[in-house]
Amino acid sequence: MDKEIKIKKKSDEIPVEDLKELFSVINQEVPDLIRNLFTSLYSAETAEQYAKGIATIYKTLTEQGLPEEMVDKLTMKYANSMDILGKALQNIDIKKDKED
């Protein structure tokens, strides 16, 4: 993201051409940013760490002598809390094709 946009203003209005250039850069950079974010969050290494975390919390709670029902419930809460991005994106309606 080494692109730099300079907007020259003569008044409180931003020229349309400058806005077009700004949105063009955003249109090019944002999809890559989102793709890279998903790749890093949902990689094989991340999945392995996620699974180890779930196994560790399950084992620790079980070793502490908690009732099985409570262990299951707490483990599920932990697992669900780890998918922060997925939960955040549930309420966003992203359409690949724009309707005219």
| Mean pLDDT score, 30-56 | 85
Mark 54-70 as b/e (b = at least 16 C-beta within 10 Å): eeebbeebeeeeeeeee
Quote the mean pLDDT of the chain: 79
Q: What is the C-alpha separation between 47 and 12, in angstroms, rounded?
A: 49
Residue type, 89: L
Percent of the chain predicted with pLDDT > 70: 69
pLDDT band of residue 62 (cuts 50, 70, 90) is very high
> CB-based contacts of 9: which residues, under 8 Å, 6+ apart?
none
